Amino acid sequence: MTGPRNADADARAGAPAPTAEHWELRLYVTGRSPNSVRAIENLQLACEQYLAGQYHIEIVDLLANPRLAADDQILAVPTLVKRLPPPIRKIVGDLSDTDRLLVGLQLRPRKG
């Protein structure tokens, strides 16, 4: 699970984000399930495109620690939790719908 952390390190100065805000993201997955793998890929792509240099991704594997699901209130995977900036948002799914992902990350206004 080193990919996302590398992406963080690779953040470039010329990213399109207008502010100096920092995105603290946590992605809950279950091992290497197809949904989990796709979500990681989709998240990395989207972050590189829209949040270059302004994000940090932490991957949590619930297969390794099932009890975290109760503590962190995670019912479904993949679940991406936007911890920062506030407010906290949860984006559920393999993040294949980029529009909805950007709505969840509050990079785009929520549509009906």
Partner 1 sequence: MASGHIETDLTSALAGLDRGPRLPKAPTGIRGLDQITAGGLPRGRSTLVTGGTGSGKTLLALQFLVAGAREYGEPGVLVTFEESAGKVSANVASLGWDLDGLQRDGLLVVHAFQVDPAEIVESGVFDFEPLFGLLDDTIERIGAKRVVLDTIEWLYGAFPNQAIVRAELGRLFRRLEARAVTAMVTGERVGNALTRYGIEEYVSDCVIVLDHRMHEEVSTRRLRIVKYRGSAHGTNEYPFLISGHGFVVLPITSVTLNYAASEDRISTGVGRLDHMLAGGLFRGSTVLVSGTMGTGKSTLGAHLINAACARGERALLVLFEESPDQVIRNMRSVGLDMGRWAEAGLLRMWAARPSAFGLETHLAILTQLIEEFAPTVGVLDGIASLTHGPTGPEVTSMLARQIDLLKAAGITTMATTLAPEDDTSMAGISSLADTWLLLRNVESDGERNRLLYVLKSRGSAHSNQAREFVLTDHGAELVDVYVGPAGVLTGSGRLVQEAQERGAELRQDEELMRRRRELRRGIVEAEAQLAVLKDDLAAERAELERIEARDQRQVADAAADRSALAEQRWADPASHGEGGPR
Q: How far is CA 89 from CA 23, 73, 106, in A?
A: 12, 13, 9
Is 46 within 8 Å of 4 (Cβ atoms)?
no
Rounded least distance, CB 94 to partner 1, Å: 4
Half-sphere exposure of 89 (CA within 13 A, CB side): 17
Select the residue interacting with partner 1 from 35, 37, 41, 45 (CB under 8 A): 35
Number of residues that bind partner 1 (CB under 8 A): 37
Site for partner 1 in 43-72 (CB under 8 A): 62-63, 66-67, 69-70
HEC sequence for 81-104: EEEECCCCEEEECCCCCHHHHHHH
- 91 belongs to the binding site for partner 1 (CB under 8 A): yes
Closest CB to partner 1 among residues 9, 110: 110
What is the helix (H) or strand (E) element at residue 68, kind and residue range?
helix 68-71
- What does the binding site for partner 1 look like in residue numbers (CB under 8 A)? 28, 30, 33, 35, 38-39, 42, 62-63, 66-67, 69-70, 73-79, 87-98, 100-101, 103-104, 110
